[in-house]
Structures are given as structure tokens and as C-alpha cells.
A = this chain, B = another copy of it.
Amino acid sequence: MFIEHGYEKVSMRDIAKDLGCSHGALYYHFKNKAALFSEVLAFYFDELNLLIDLTMKQEKNDKLQELLLGFLRFGLNYPYQYELMFLLKSEEVDSLMQQPAAASYEKFAAAVKKASGKDLQNDMIYSIFLALHGFVSLHLHRVPNFEGAAKAAAVHVDFLRKTI
């Protein structure tokens, strides 16, 4: 439900109705709405980490491009998840999200360094990440999925590749 309609639009009562229980019962299992949602999101951090691993494992000559494009694809194909993984700042959710987000970033940064074949500066990798994040956060929800911005994504990644 969160994935289809977003965090704000889904109420605890909606979830309870779908489960066939009262909304009060949810508060026995989860401290609050944010805690419930963050457990849903944990799955998607794993998914992103897995995606990075898979990209690095496959036999391709241009892993770097695949890495950058893969990030954009992930962001736009899981818009609500991405929004809460890297964008939302509501105090409640953010405190639960910062640690896994940082871990995923570290994994991404290490992969980029390795895939580039060069000894890239950390600052540079961070700038590249910011540029990718900018792309996703601007196209988020304005485009139905990655396909809707695939061409622009390729152009952006191309721009970034040239800087490396």
C-alpha cells in the first residue's frame, strides 16, 4: 500500500482494514507509523545493496555506466521507497533511515571507485552521487517509471562519465 500510494496517503486504519484487524493492534507491534514503515523500507535497502553487488559481479566492460544508470533506475522504479530512503526528513522517519542510507552509500561509493579503475577522490564520488540524487529527486513522481526518463537518464550519466 505504501508503495502504491505513498507514506502520507496510507493511514494506519487503512492498513488495519486490509489486515482485518483494528488499528490499535498495529501499535502493539510497532511503536508508531514511522517504525512500521521503516521496516518495510529495510527490504528496499537490501534490494539496492543487492543491485550494486550484482552489477559488480556481472561480466561487462562498462560496469561504471551500469552502476550509475542502475541507481537512477532503482530510484525511479521505486519512487516512494526512494523518497523515504533518501529524501524524506520528518524527524521520526529520518532517524531510522540515516544509518542504512549511509551504509548503502558507502557500498555504492566503493563500487564506483572499483568500477572506474582509477583512484577517485571521495569528494568526487560524493559529487557524482549528489548529481544522481538530483536527477532522481527531480523526476520522482513526475514520471511513472524509469522508462519515462530513460533518455534523459542516459544523457545525465553520460555527462557524469565524462567527468571521471
Contacts and interface: CB of A to CB of B under 8 A. Distances in A.
Nearest to A83: B89
A62 interface: no
A78 to B, nearest CB: 15
Contact of A134 (B131, B142, B159, B163): B131
Interface centre among A135, A138, A152 (most CB of B within 10 A): A138
Contact of A133 (B126, B137, B160): B137
Chain A residues touching B, range: 20 to 34
Nearest to A123: B155
Nearest to A137: B137
In the complex, the 5 A-B pairs of residues with the closest C-beta atoms, listed nearest first: A134-B134, A131-B131, A130-B134, A133-B134, A127-B159
